[in-house]
A = this chain, B = another copy of it.
Amino acid sequence: MALTLSSAAQDLLFREARTANTFTDEPVGDEQVRAIYDLVKYAPTAMNQQPLRVVLVCSPEARERLLGLMAPGNRAKTAAAPLVAVLAADLDFHEELPKVFPHSAGAREMFAENEALRAHSARFNATLQVGYFILGVRAAGLAAGPMAGYDADGIDKEFLDDAHTVLAVVNIGRPGEDAWFDRLPRLTYEEVVTTV
């Protein structure tokens, strides 16, 4: 047994969890999103940057605006999902560094002076956190349906301010009927891992 994580947890997070395309009507409450966040917030980012920001699209008016910005193939499932989250990177995460990385006096200034470095770091670390968030949704017994097909500039303009940029839109809920296609093939260890 090479893994410490229980087989049930392996199944819940990785082996039996799937990207859902349909959902039941069961609502996803604030307390569930809070529990997910309060778990995944501990996963690591460089210099504890934590640039991920989350916009929960709850009102019918906001959902309608979002649907108009999704790729046609994503609209029906985004309309039907109990909850939709816009996951974004905070390009001004450095303003939080004096609080979240307090022992490094120059960290805020280093990023303040280098916008390209800051944008790269925000995107990279917030994308790590998107991965953690997807597994956190599964830890709550829910299915995540992450999507990349949308008008990114439109979402930035409609749902975020100038200091934030969208990374993914995620449908969240209990899987419904015919929620997924057959599992697609994974690359083998030999195809992915080499040794030098």
State whether A140 touches B2 (Cβ < 8 A).
Answer: yes
State whether A193 touches B127 (Cβ < 8 A).
Answer: no
Residues in B whose Cβ lies below 8 Å from that of A36: 2-3
Q: For the complex, give the distance between the alpha carbons of A195 and B85 in Å.
A: 9
State whether B43 touches A135 (Cβ < 8 A).
Answer: yes
State whether A52 touches B14 (Cβ < 8 A).
Answer: no
State whether B139 touches A100 (Cβ < 8 A).
Answer: no
Over the window 1-27 of chain A, the binary record of Cβ atoms lying under 8 Å from chain B Cβ atoms (1 yes, 0 no) is: 011111011101111010100000000
A164 to chain B minimum Cβ distance, whole angstroms, is: 10
Query: Is A129 an interface residue, CB under 8 A from the partner?
Result: yes
Query: Is A67 an interface residue, CB under 8 A from the partner?
Result: no
State whether B127 touches A131 (Cβ < 8 A).
Answer: yes
Residues in B whose Cβ lies below 8 Å from that of A132: 131, 135
Q: For the complex, give the distance between the alpha carbons of A110 and B40 in Å.
A: 34
Q: For the complex, give the distance between the alpha carbons of A124 and B167 in Å.
A: 9
> Assuming the A-B contacts A2-B31, A40-B14, A56-B196, are A186 and B50 also in contact, with contact meaning beta carbons closer than 8 angstroms in the complex?
yes
Residues 65 to 88 of chain A near chain B (Cβ within 8 Å): none
> Assuming the A-B contacts A34-B189, A124-B167, A189-B34, are A42 and B57 also in contact, with contact meaning beta carbons closer than 8 angstroms in the complex?
no
State whether B2 touches A35 (Cβ < 8 A).
Answer: yes
A1 to chain B minimum Cβ distance, whole angstroms, is: 9
Query: Is A106 an interface residue, CB under 8 A from the partner?
Result: no
Q: For the complex, give the distance between the alpha carbons of A50 and B189 in Å.
A: 12
A39 contact from B10, B37, B127, Cβ within 8 A: B10
A103 to chain B minimum Cβ distance, whole angstroms, is: 8
* 5 A/B residue pairs, CB under 8 Å, sorted by A: A37-B192, A55-B193, A124-B127, A124-B148, A129-B131
